[in-house]
A and B are shown apart, each in its own frame.
Chain A
Amino acid sequence: MIRIERRLTEARWLVVAVPAGSLLAAAFLSGIILALTGHDPIGTWARLLDRGFLAEGAMSATFVTATPLLLTGLAAAAAFRMQTWNIGAEGQLYLGAVGASGIGIALHDQSPVLIIPAMVIAGIVTGAAWAAIPGVLRAYTRTNEIITSLMLNYVAGLLMTYLIFDSHSYWRDLSTFTARVFPQGKYLSDSASWPSLGLAGIAIPFGFLLGMVAAAALWLIYSRTRFGFEARVIGDSRAAAHYAGIRTRRKIVAVMALSGALAGIGGASEIGDFRHVLDPRGLQQASFGYAGIVVAALARLNPFAVVIVAILLGGLSNAGFSLQGATFPAGLVGTLQGLILFCALAGELLVHYRIRFVRRAAPLARAPEKFGAA
């Protein structure tokens, strides 16, 4: 008989072994799906790894995808840590992109020293403001934040589409005849392009560096400040926090805004680092916000682990985008991400519980026998 017993302490080695095992198990399960649909699993995986990590220039491209994943992963980790379920990183990232591109267009003739910080701040402000809506609704009207933050993702996507495709907004390029017929956004000036750091032939985007700083800051906030301590108490027991006099309402709004700000930086980085134009279709297809949930869960909400997991999943997504075609069907990346998350959830059981194979428990009447023959 199988018995599941709660461990008194988390098993340390499992904290690393479970995510690693999850990746392997997900690779195996996706192999079954590939084989069932007539694709060669090993060949597909080899190409995935090659395009994601090994091929020339692959790591630079992987960092391009890892950057938004790092920031949306941190956004999810920041909120989930307090058991506040911000599923709206997707929309908050869009809003960050809208804010950063808006300010970038407005300051087009300024120097990078001014434009780049302004874009980062604009991303933070717009992302935080968008996330504050479900935060305030949760705190003051007790409305389920999962659904409200998710609904706002669709609204944010429609807002971007409106700005570029269905209006003569500030973001839309109307300077030429073709641009009026085939709608597209205004491109930002060169001085609004964020720098990148060359390291061993790999270009690390400025947004990724910001994300690493944000990860360290998030760790500091949650482990070394009163704010973080109170947020963790709320996460563990809302009733206990209330009795301890912690102002839970303010904290919910603050943590949602913090989470949205991180996703907003992700949106700003999408503009400053890569796209240089507000691109509703591209941003919506990428669905970085939802992938951030996978990153955070696989990293078990640890900010430093988020950095590493973002690079791993960034590699998979990057390979998925670049390989997409007849032999590499769309949808495989999301399937893979879901499988990884399932395995991580199943593995979580091992971290908290011990599974023991024992002989069927003796009936009560025979209990005294255990003193004699065992």
Chain B
Amino acid sequence: MNNTILVVIAASAISYGTPLLFAALGELLAERSGVLNLGVEGMMLMGAVSGFWAVQTIGGPGWVVLLVAVLVAALVAAATSLIHAVLTISLRASQIVSGLALTIFAGASGLSSYVGHVASLGGQPARHEFAAIDVLGLKDLPIIGPILLHQNALTYLSWALVAVALFYLYRTRPGLHLRAVGESPATADAMGVNVTVYRYVHVMLGGALAGIGGAFFSLAITPGWLDGMTSGAGWIAIALVIFAFWRPELALVGAYLFGAFSSLGFTLQTRQVHLPPEVFSSLPYLMTIVVLVLVSTGWARQRLGAPASLGVPYVREER
């Protein structure tokens, strides 16, 4: 029963959706503060390369190394996002161009590739990786066993993060302030909320989460390092935020939907479904377009949930 195709697809959808969920949650927080960051792909790759570098260089018991690697990935990606924060928040640069610059700077043929070459990480077998945990020894439970009780620690962390993000956004004062900053920075400013600080913090939080998402590629999905190994996941995560109407719980749903598209090719190929591999590989990209079109038309026409000041720099004197 646990080997039926639907169960296998659902289990791998969660695994492939986890990096998307991390990155989308991060982007969601940044966008909720009014800053669009198109550099997710670049930040994920920085996280992937630095996380893998940490695993290969740091000594110690496996779980400590992995924990440190995730922290390194988060810190490096947060530092990368700081460039975007300075340019767009303090220097009022175009958020779109700055985000693109970040992806070019850090992306597949940028700094992440440079670091990978300098540290000659390509082709090295991973010393440690995130393996699936057999929760309470219940992985053989029918259906929910392989889907929910046999994932790795980062996936469980991502579930906790969704709950934390929901609580933070809707049940705490800083969360309320964050939403105010994204909707109407002038009002938030008048309330005494420091708009600049809120934006900096959440852009960097977004960077850190994107970095963990990237590390999920190099430490869990395909342990190792390859130039551009996230292959567009950062962009799918940005689309996911729109799909989720800027709500964490919907980001969870969307991440697994796109995770299913990403993993479908591998699953079907092992089941002797013969189609050109490019058809499966292009599925996540084509489905991203289809889903975006669907949420952009009809019932969702009013851009439900988009923070009103998204993309607009805030300057106190130029209200």
Chain B minimum-CB-distance residue to A296 = B97
Q: Tell me, yes or no, whether A283 is within 8 Å of chain B by CB.
A: no
Residue pair B278, A342 in contact (C-beta under 8 Å): no
Q: Are A338 and B277 in contact (CB under 8 A)?
A: no
The segment from A92-100, A136-144, A240-248 found at the interface with B is A136-144
Q: Which residues from B are CB-within-8-Å of A334?
A: 104-105, 107-111, 113-114
Query: B92 — which chain A residues lie within 8 A by C-beta?
Result: 349, 353
A151 touches B97 (CB 8 A): no
CA distance A141 to B296 in the complex (A): 6
Q: Mark B92-108, 1 if CB is under 8 A from A, else 0.
A: 11101110111111111
Does A150 touch B at the CB level, under 8 Å? yes
- Are A341 and B101 in contact, CB atoms less than 8 angstroms apart? yes
Q: Does A339 belong to the interface (CB within 8 Å)?
A: yes
Q: A141-B296, A141-B297, A329-B117 are in contact. Are A155 and B94 (CB under 8 A)?
A: no
Residues of chain A contacted by B101 (CB below 8 angstroms): 294, 297, 338, 341-342, 345
Contacts of A33 in B (CB 8 A): 111, 114
**How far, in angstroms, from A264 to B242 measured CA to CA in the complex?**
30
Question: Is B104 in contact with A293, judged by CB distance below 8 angstroms?
Answer: yes
A38 / chain B contacts, CB cutoff of 8 Å: 118
In A119-162, which residues have CB < 8 Å from any B CB?
137, 141-144, 146-148, 150-152, 154-155, 158-159, 161-162
Partner of A339, one of B103, B105, B278, B297: B105
Which residue of chain B has the shortest Cβ distance to A39 in the bound complex?
B118
User: Which parts of B261-296 form the interface with A (CB within 8 Å)?
Assistant: 276-278, 281-282, 285-286, 288-289, 292-293, 296
- Measured CB to CB, the closest approach of chain A to B318, in angstroms, equals 7
Instruction: Assess A341 versus B281: contact at CB under 8 Å? Given A147-B239, A287-B109.
Output: no
A152 near B289 with CB under 8 A, answer: yes
- Chain B residue nearest to A87 in the complex (CB): B100
Number of chain B interface residues as a range = 35 or more
Tell yes or no: A332 within 8 A of B by CB.
yes
CB-defined contacts of B94 to chain A, threshold 8 Å: 345, 348
Assess the B286–A337 pair: CB atoms within 8 A: no
- Does A111 sit at the interface, judged by CB under 8 A? no
Inter-chain CA distance A144–B38, complex, in Å, is 12
Are A290's CB and B289's CB within 8 A?
no
A37 within 8 A of B: yes
Which 10 residue pairs of A and B lie closest in terms of their CB atoms, listed nearest first?
Answer: A338-B105, A331-B113, A331-B114, A334-B110, A341-B101, A329-B117, A334-B109, A345-B93, A162-B278, A151-B285
**B interface: dominant SS:** helix
What is the CA–CA distance of A293 and B249 in the complex, to the nearest angstrom? 35
Count of chain A residues with a beta carbon within 8 Å of a chain B beta carbon: 49
Q: Judging by beta carbons under 8 Å apart, are A341 and B113 in contact?
A: no
Q: Please give me the residue from chain B that is nearest to A37 by CB atom.
A: B118
Interface residues of A (CB under 8 A from B): 6, 33, 37-38, 85, 87, 137, 141-144, 146-148, 150-152, 154-155, 158-159, 161-162, 166-167, 285, 287, 290-291, 293-294, 297, 329-335, 337-339, 341-342, 345-346, 348-349, 353
Question: Chain B residues with Cβ under 8 A from A146's Cβ?
Answer: 38, 96
Q: Which stretch (B13-21, B182-190, B198-206, B227-235) binds chain A?
A: B227-235
Which of A293, A330, A341 is within 8 Å of B109, CB to CB? Answer: A330
Whether A349 touches B93, Cβ cut-off 8 Å, given contacts A142-B296, A338-B110, is yes
Complex CA gap A38/B20 in Å reads 35
B97:A148 contact, CB within 8 angstroms: no
- Which residues of the partner chain B approach A331 to less than 8 Å between Cβ atoms? 109-117, 227
